[in-house]
Amino acid sequence: MRIIRSCFVRNVAAATIVAALSLCLPGCGRGETRSAAEIKADVVASLLKGMKRQGSQLSAETFDAQAQELRNVRVVGKKGLLYAERATIAVDEATKAVRIRLYDVVVTQPIGEEGAASEGQGAIVRYREMVLDDIQAPAGE
């Protein structure tokens, strides 16, 4: 999975959450017989219902059909939270690879168990834009 961002990622939680997201989107594997529009509709429906995979909960609050954007996207896991105000989904017609572009992203890490912030924990990092590229689900999803 290739991750492209507007600024360099220094936060381990961002990479962990992005990896969890890339492993759990249903119906995005290569070699699909479904159309790009069907795959996109499945991804949108799954995010609106909320998906629990690999110890993370993924969800989107709403889908604006006119703007073709998901709103209030969240990925919550043990390593922290990724929140994006909005996101767009694109599916490559030839390869069926899914690209999710997140906008106005906030990544946080939880405070350590002892209640004090330790190295890298309790940090909040903001990104203007984040792209999750070549996303695919494991076979059989």
Identify the pLDDT of residue 139. Answer: 34
Q: Which residue has the higher pLDDT, 130 or 61?
A: 61
Q: Is the pLDDT of residue 10 over 70?
A: no
Question: Tens digit of pLDDT for each residue in 78-115?
Answer: 888 999 999 999 998 888 888 889 999 999 977 766 55
Q: How far is CA 17 from CA 7, 65, 72, in A?
A: 17, 26, 16
- Within the chain, residue ranges assigned H as helices are 12-24, 36-49
Q: Is residue 24 part of a domain?
A: yes
Is residue 140 a part of any domain in this protein? no
Residue 85 domain-assigned (yes or no): yes
Residue 141 lies in a domain: no
Owner of token pair 């017989």: 33
Q: Among residues 24, 28, 71, which one has the least CA distance to residue 52?
A: 24
Could you tell me if residue 70 is inside a domain? yes
Q: Is residue 40 part of a domain?
A: yes
Q: Which of 101, 102, 100, 94 is CA-nearest to residue 36?
A: 94
- Which residues form the domain of 109? 2-135
Global pTM value: 0.69
18 versus 39: which is more confidently predicted?
39
What's the structural domain count of the chain? Answer: 1
